[in-house]
């Protein structure tokens, strides 16, 4: 499973990129607004840090405008993936982007049938949202498992990005379920890297070393 970061914060991306683990980046309008910076400038800066797929989301609601918006975003860099919401208009846009050879990430996927539609429209990626399903008492992990099974059975090569990741168990579970990618918030990357026994172990090694040196 590849690891993407789910943020529009350039400093966070720079830090995790230095770990050598980052395969790509996803952003969304809420994450962009949180930074209070120019959308296209932020996306451009991200392309200079990470050499991998970088999702930039359209905000239009009809296909024609999504296509125009996506074409402009794609001009920023060849690694840009146009993120499109899972709607009928979104599917029309995805289908057109697919014909143009522009990669897409269909976002806000909450069912296996939505994922199947997105894949058949030509999406490069689908993003099932785990955390938001868990929030309403449904199982985000079951959704990922369903999509992995459906895509496997039917030989669909659209990649599954497990999104709305809220804890490190989500990351482990999605890796075990066979998601191709997990897009992970910065705070969860920080949790993933540490373990109390690692810290205790380092302290013990250094204390022993210092006791005779």
The per-residue b/e assignment along 6-34, b for 16 or more CB within 10 angstroms, e otherwise, is bbbbbebbeebbeeeebbbbbbbeebbee
Interacting residue with ligand E4P among 77, 92, 132, 167 (CB under 6 A) = 132
Tokens read off for 187: 């705070």
* 179 lines the binding site for ligand E4P (CB under 6 A): no
Of 39-98, binders to ligand E4P (CB under 6 A) are none
In the complex, minimum distance from the CB of residue 55 to ligand E4P, in angstroms, rounded to a whole number: 6
* 12 lines the binding site for ligand E4P (CB under 6 A): no
Interacting residue with ligand E4P among 127, 146, 173, 182 (CB under 6 A) = 127
Residue closer to ligand E4P (CB basis): 74 or 129: 129
Residue closer to ligand E4P (CB basis): 6 or 146: 6
Residue closer to ligand E4P (CB basis): 25 or 91: 25
Interacting residue with ligand E4P among 3, 13, 25, 28 (CB under 6 A) = 28
Give yes or no: 83 in active site. yes
Residue closer to ligand E4P (CB basis): 28 or 124: 28
In the complex, minimum distance from the CB of residue 130 to ligand E4P, in angstroms, rounded to a whole number: 8
Tokens read off for 97: 């982007």
Please report where in the chains the tokens 């790509």 appear, as a residue. 24
* 26 lines the binding site for ligand E4P (CB under 6 A): yes
Residue 105 CA to residue 15 CA, distance in Å, equals 24
* 6 lines the binding site for ligand E4P (CB under 6 A): yes
Catalytic hit among 83, 190, 203, 210: 83
Residue 133 CA to residue 135 CA, distance in Å, equals 5
* 158 lines the binding site for ligand E4P (CB under 6 A): no
Active-site amino acid positions: 83
Query: Under the rule (CB under 6 A), what is the footprint of ligand E4P?
Result: 6, 26, 28, 107, 127, 129, 131-132, 163-164, 183
């Amino acid at each position: 499973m590849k690891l993407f970061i789910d943020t529009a914060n350039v400093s966070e991306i720079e830090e995790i990129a230095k770990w050598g683990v980052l395969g790509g980046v996803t952003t969304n309008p809420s994450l962009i607004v949180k930074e209070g910076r120019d959308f296209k400038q932020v996306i451009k800066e991200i392309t200079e840090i990470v050499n991998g797929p970088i999702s930039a989301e359209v905000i239009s609601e009809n296909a024609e405008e999504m296509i125009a918006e996506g074409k402009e975003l794609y001009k920023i860099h060849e690694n840009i993936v146009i993120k499109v919401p899972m709607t009928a208009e979104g599917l029309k846009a995805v289908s057109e982007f697919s014909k143009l050879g522009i990669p897409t990430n269909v976002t806000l996927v909450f069912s296996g049938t939505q994922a199947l539609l997105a894949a058949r429209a030509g999406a490069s990626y689908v993003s099932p949202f785990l955390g938001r399903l868990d929030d309403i008492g449904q199982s985000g992990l079951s959704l990922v498992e369903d999509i992995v099974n459906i895509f496997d059975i039917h030989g669909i090569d659209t990649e599954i990005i497990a999104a709305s990741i809220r804890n490190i168990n989500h990351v482990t579970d999605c890796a075990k379920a066979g998601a191709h990618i997990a897009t992970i918030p910065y705070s969860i990357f920080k949790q993933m890297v540490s373990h109390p026994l690692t810290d205790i172990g380092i302290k013990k090694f250094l204390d022993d070393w210092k006791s005779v040196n």
